[in-house]
Amino acid sequence: MKNRTIKNVFLTLIVFGSAISCNDYLDINSDPNNISIDNVTPNELLPVGITANYRVQARDVNQFANVIMNMTAGNSIVYGGPFTDYYVPNINNTFFNGIWDGLYRATANLDKIVTYNDPTNKYVKQKAIAKIVKANYIQILTDFYGDMPYSEAFKGQNNLAPKYDKGEDIYKASYAELENAKALIDSGAGDEVGAVDIVFGGDMAKWKAFANTLQLRYLLRMSNVTGDMATFRDQKLALLSGATFIDEDVLENPGYSSNNDAQQNPYTNYYLYTSSGSRGSAYAINVASENAAIILNGNPDGDTRGAYQKFNNIVDLRRPRMFTLIGGKVSGIRQGNTPGQPGVPSAASRFTFGINIGKGTPTSTEEYIDLASAKSGCIMTKAESKFLQAEAALRYPSLFSGALSNFNEGIAASFDTYGSAPNLADQYIATIAAVPGLGFAGSTTNKIDAIMTQKWIALAGRNPEQSFFDYSRTGFPVTLSATTASKPKPNRLMYPLSEFIANSGNVPKIGTEDVFSKNQYTPFWNRN
């Protein structure tokens, strides 16, 4: 029965991928292999919407953020000079446009559920789930791009040129959707979801906890705002005080397997191996950066740059689960340099078991492919939830508590997610306890630095975009730029070429220079 469900999910994904932009159909007998979108119910749409969004997250979002936050480097040993545009960075309307195009297309599946005509309230729970997942990816989109279509988006041919909404208004509206989703859950209405829910299996209490956690992420993103949005933030934080937050990794799995390429986890198929054992198209890309190597190895060569001093003599015990070890340590490539230049060893470490499969250690390539192919996709980690709670308690102690305990639990959760032994987490936490900027010690600024640094390590290869947004907001974690960089890290991405073609009357006419300066186009929470 499970395999049949799996096949149906992937078939629906294929069908719906070509159907979302079409509303007109010939008045003829229906082709069962080409289903009209009007005949697709929330039960078919829900796993599609979740899986399609994860696919973009696992590939484009993951790759951009890992590189821009200097966790990985292009493999210059293989390619000579890869990622040259990333390192400058040369951001234009063709740079990672798959993030915008992919997430908008995927989120349309979820919006179709939200707006589905349901006079008998049969699909209340599906609507609640769709609202929550949609809010997660809407936040990622507007955090990358700022103002964008929202109130008029996802209407297909009924509105091919949707207006752009301000980021502030999108945040408020999306936050309200999370509140509405929780109210729907509390109502208890609707049929049970069951296996259609490929995340929590119909456990609506967990969905409510996830919604609370997303709301906390929304509000903390606004830690530096002033005026009306600060008032909004503070009011909502007070209402969120005492809420239950997610206490496990939020994972999706429609039935990933190594049966064929289409059924593999899309991360595996892209970065590791195809179902037949061939290397994925991006196999050689995910190598450690020199920056990551210095940090995880405890700065063994005594690099004198200030960014590395807090890591002196502290070997990160997660490193063998994060990267392959070469000569007993992580070997990384200095971003921007090529063979023969400093920081380019003869061999470089790659993402390994903890990131690629989670727990377990395969003993053969065949087992590795099976485990990696079937691995669940990570929407949010327990570690991120704990670090969000730690930050909330640190910034707003009258509303939230447990800053230190949540910080330590976040580190322990990352060890568990990577498949490291629990005793190693305890050992590492004890080692860093008194180190400002790495352990929970020193000033408030030191502790914010520590939270963001530990989150960066914990989210590598899974949700690194959150560390990019954290850096934009707080200045932490400090990660060095490529040797070839002529510009700082961007404040946003540029609208894709598809928008300038299809929605030219509404898309803001920003230039490359606007990406690197703080202005009216910068995401609102990052203007101060």
Q: Are residues 171 and 275 in the same domain?
A: no
Angle CA 293–490–519, to nearest 5: 155
Domain termination residue (choose one: 335, 356, 374): 374
Q: What is the pLDDT of residue 422?
A: 86
Six-digit token pair at 83? 């990622």
Counting DSSP H helices and E strands in the chain, the numbers are: 22, 4
Q: Are residues 318 and 364 in the same domain?
A: yes
Q: Could you give the 3-state DSSP secondary structure of residue 250?
A: strand
Q: Are residues 147 and 9 in the same domain?
A: yes
Six-digit token pair at 359? 């727990």
Q: Are residues 114 and 248 in the same domain?
A: yes
Domain termination residue (choose one: 345, 374, 403): 374
Six-digit token pair at 505? 């009357």
Residue 101 in contact with residue 505, Cβ under 8 Å? no
Q: What is the pLDDT of residue 286?
A: 86
Residue type, 323: F
Write out the DSSP string of 284-342: TT-EEBHHHHHHHHT-TT---SGGGGGGTT---TTHHHHB--BTTB---BPTT--TTST
- Centre a 10 Å sphere on the Cβ of residue 343 and count the other Cβ atoms it contains: 18
Helical axes 464-474 vs 444-458, angle rounded to 10°: 160
Residue 444 lies in a domain: no
Q: Are residues 293 and 224 in the same domain?
A: no
Q: Are residues 199 and 217 in the same domain?
A: yes
Q: Are residues 133 and 34 in the same domain?
A: yes
Residue 460 lies in a domain: no
Q: What is the pLDDT of residue 20?
A: 34
pTM above threshold 0.85: yes
Q: What residues make up the domain containing 309?
A: 261-374
Instruction: Find, among 139, 66, 27, the residue nearest to 467 by Cα.
Output: 66
Q: What is the pLDDT of residue 22?
A: 32
Q: Are residues 235 and 271 in the same domain?
A: no
Tokens 């408030």, residue located: 444
Q: Are residues 29 and 159 in the same domain?
A: yes
The parts of the chain modelled with pLDDT lower than 70 are 1-38
CATH number, domain at 39?
1.25.40.390
Instruction: Find, among 197, 211, 109, the residue nearest to 154 by Cα.
Output: 109
CA distances 405 to 315, 318, 446, Å, are 22, 20, 16
Q: Are residues 187 and 278 in the same domain?
A: no
Q: Is the alpha carbon torsion for 313, 317, 322, 325 positive or negative?
A: positive
Residue 497 lies in a domain: yes
Q: Are residues 111 and 154 in the same domain?
A: yes
Q: Are residues 231 and 345 in the same domain?
A: no
Alpha carbons 265 and 10: distance in angstroms, whole number = 12
Domain termination residue (choose one: 374, 407, 425): 374
Residue 125 in contact with residue 191, Cβ under 8 Å? yes
Residue 66 lies in a domain: no
Residue 345 lies in a domain: yes
- Centre a 10 Å sphere on the Cβ of residue 111 and count the other Cβ atoms it contains: 20
59-96 pLDDT per residue, tens: 999 999 999 999 999 899 988 888 989 999 999 999 99
Residue 434 lies in a domain: no
Residue 511 lies in a domain: yes
φ, ψ dihedrals at 326, nearest 5°: -120, 115
Q: What is the pLDDT of residue 81?
A: 83
Residue 271 lies in a domain: yes
Residue 64 in contact with residue 99, Cβ under 8 Å? yes
Structural domain count of the chain: 2
